[in-house]
Amino acid sequence: MENVRNLDSHDGGRTIKTIQSVLGGDLGYSFQKFIVNAADHGVPQNRKRMFIIGFRDPSVFIDKPPPAPLQFDMSDILGGPVDKRIGHTLRVGGRRSGVADRRNWDSYLVEGVEKTLTPFQAKLMQGFPPDFAFPVSNNEAMKQLGNSVAVPAVEAYGRQIRAALGSF
């Protein structure tokens, strides 16, 4: 499962306790939670999400995958010098907020000129292959990308899950 990093504090902590109780107690799964930053998995996005991982065998757990170096940075994505190596979290909605807006997530200064991310650039920040197609409008693509997970982070945790399952 994947959700916002602050799920622990939602409803005074009751939400995560309910999830853990249902998965771990009622359904008998192991229960682990990790705060995962996309930037720790090679993509230039400071996107922190909670991953919850459980196995039907309650004795099975995984180790947190090792971090991976950045494969490219925001200057590579935007095609010119950017003051941030790692970009903002992509979010659903709130597009074109501008670099001066405290809620900015999609605009950067590139050689003194304000640039807004395109769906192609946002796709790279999420770790999708360059040829991955979103057969929707640009607005809808940005919404989907803002609601997506960083592909390399999921792959890293998937390898850990596969290794844990390989012991059966």
Give the residue extent of every domain in the chain. Answer: 2-68, 74-146
Report the Cα 35 to chain-centroid distance in Å. 10
Distance of CA 55 to the CA centre of its chain: 22
62 close to 32: Cβ distance less than 8 angstroms? yes
16 pLDDT higher than 60: yes
pLDDT > 70? residue 167? no
Residue 168 CA, chain-centre distance (Å), reads: 29
Of the pLDDT bands very low, low, confident and very high (cuts 50, 70, 90), residue 95 is low
Structure tokens at 80: 């010119």
- Arithmetic mean of pLDDT over the chain: 93
Residue 82's pLDDT is 95
The predicted-structure confidence for 141-150, as pLDDT tens digits, reads as follows 999 999 999 9
Q: What is the DSSP code (8-state) at residue 45?
A: B
How many CA atoms, within 13 angstroms, populate the side-chain half-sphere of residue 147? 9
Instruction: Identify the pLDDT of residue 80.
Output: 97
Residue 27 has a pLDDT of: 95
Rounded Cα distance between 49 and 152, Å, is 13
> Which tops the pLDDT comparison, 104 or 167?
104
Least confident of 41-55, 81-95, 154-168: 81-95
pLDDT for the residue 168 = 53
What secondary structure does DSSP assign to 61-126, as a single string? --PPPPPB--S--HHHHHTS-BS-SSBPPP-SS-----TTSTT--SEEEETTEEEE--HHHHHHHT
pLDDT at site 96: 73
Q: Encoding tokens for residue 44? A: 């230039």
Tell me the average pLDDT across 54-77: 96
The pLDDT value given to residue 115 = 94
Looking from the CA of 80 toward its CB, the CA atoms found within 13 Å total 8
Pick the CATH number of 74-146 from 3.40.50.970, 3.20.20.80, 3.90.120.10, 3.40.50.720: 3.90.120.10
* pLDDT of amino acid 94: 54
**CA-CA-CA-CA dihedral for 102, 105, 106, 109, to nearest 10:** 50
